[in-house]
Amino acid sequence: MKTIGLIGGMSWESSDSYYQIINRQVKAKLGGVHSCRSLMVSVDFQEIADLQHSGDWEKLTVMMVEAAQSLEKGGADFIVLCTNTMHKMAESIEQNTTIPFIHIADATAIEIKKHKFTKVALLGTKFTMEQDFLKKRFTEKHNIETIIPDQQSRDRIHSIIYGELVKGILNESSRKEFIEIIDTLLKKGAQGIILGCTEIGLLVTPKDTNALLFDTTIIHATQAVEFALRDLKTGN
């Protein structure tokens, strides 16, 4: 079994989901009391969030690269960055490490293509929705068009993520707002909805909507397990 290197803490709420999903799937696949081999570098999200909102992406890049390098030095066989927004630094991480990097957009695109979808909506932080680091990858590498909510909805989603979800606060009123935004995006032609922030899946689940949801946390964690077990010869 390969050792998974996780860059977490952004927020720890979603990193906890990653850890649970990965270990449950390893146990399901291998049986017994198997669990994943993993390392995690977990950052202080307050520091990360402050730098994000002040626009200091250069310092954030240094922090993510250093975290990835720590995992590589510690014996990780590949890297999983447990957040969508910080995939803005994915290229820098890949350039400064020698082990594989499992990109969250690539993992998500695999699932979208299974449904033969070519146009999906992207929900996430304002950084993820408004900047191109994920949207461009979906378009150029996977030929998948992404659409985003209007400005007011983007502001509201961002506020709920940072004001509630990263703190583990799940409000029914916020869930209803998300569902209304999702319904609007479906009417605009979205064939499915990418939950492009690793905390959104804590609030919105398939039972809440008829839309096909692509929960990046579940998809990314599942891809990590598949990669970790790919060359495993036996479950014993």
- Positions annotated as catalytic residues are 83, 197
CATH topology agreement for domains 4-103+219-229 and 105-215: yes
Determine the Cα–Cα distance for residues 87 and 10; give it in Å rounded to an integer. Answer: 12
Q: What is the reported pTM?
A: 0.94
Answer whether CATH 3.40.50.1860 is correct for domain 105-215.
yes
Q: Return the domain boundaries, the chain.
A: 4-103+219-229, 105-215
From first to last of the 236 residues of the chain, give the pLDDT tens digit: 999 999 999 999 999 999 999 999 999 999 999 999 999 999 999 999 999 999 999 999 999 999 999 999 999 999 999 999 999 999 999 999 999 999 999 999 999 999 999 999 999 999 999 999 999 999 999 999 999 999 999 999 999 999 999 999 999 999 999 999 999 999 999 999 999 999 999 999 999 999 999 999 999 999 999 999 998 754 43
Fold of 4-103+219-229: Rossmann fold (3.40.50)
Amino acid at site 47: E
CA 59 to each of CA 6, 33, 92, 122, 230: distance values in angstroms, whole numbers, following the listed order: 20, 41, 12, 26, 35
E strand residue ranges, 164-215: 193-195, 213-215
